[in-house]
Amino acid sequence: MLAFGDVWVCERCKPTFVQKLKEGVPIQECEGLVRQLKSQGTWRLLFLGAVTLGIYMAHYIKRQTTVLNQHLDSEDAISEGLVTSILIFQYISAILSVLGFVLGEGAPIVLFMIGNLLSMILVVLVVVWAFKSRNRMNTLLSVGKSDPRWFSGCYTFLFTGLYFNYKINELNAQLPEQGDAPSG
């Protein structure tokens, strides 16, 4: 992270930041990051996650982690192992859910026990990812608890990736349109 007065900018955003400063365009910290993280509406993410038994959400987590890690130093990056674990557990959980549905009451009880255990592990992994992402975003945006751009811990815990997506969309809506010239 580089300091420009009281604004912090990641190494990757520095060229865009400096160019906008020269042009006199008002910018926010890591504006490029917020634009890159914007991918879709939160209702769409919820719907696709539900229809795909969570697999879509796991891929969303992978995408957002890849983008976030591009703006972080290697020691602050979110572990690829965590993301890979989320993907693996989500696929296995979805397969077990489909098997349980197809087999119905004839499914062995161990299938449901394994499915429930994997689901609990998956929930813990997703909450860990959500808090890691939240902490990285609050740091990259240089915001405190009183700032409306702050990612809330309570909502992060309750809504994980959906809240992350909601906040990204909210931050993106606050950015000036790309190509807007400074007024005056």
The 10 Å Cβ neighbour count of residue 62 is 15
pTM of the model: 0.82
Output the six-digit token pair for 181.
């010239």
Report the alpha-carbon distance of residue 33 to residue 79 in Å, rounded: 18
Helix extents (H) in 38-146 = 42-51, 55-70, 80-103, 109-140
Output the six-digit token pair for 174.
């606050």
pLDDT per position as a tens digit, 131-182: 999 999 998 888 889 988 899 999 999 999 999 999 999 998 887 776 554 4
pLDDT per position as a tens digit, 37-83: 998 999 999 999 999 999 999 999 999 999 999 888 889 999 999 99
Adjacent-strand bridge partners of 3: 8
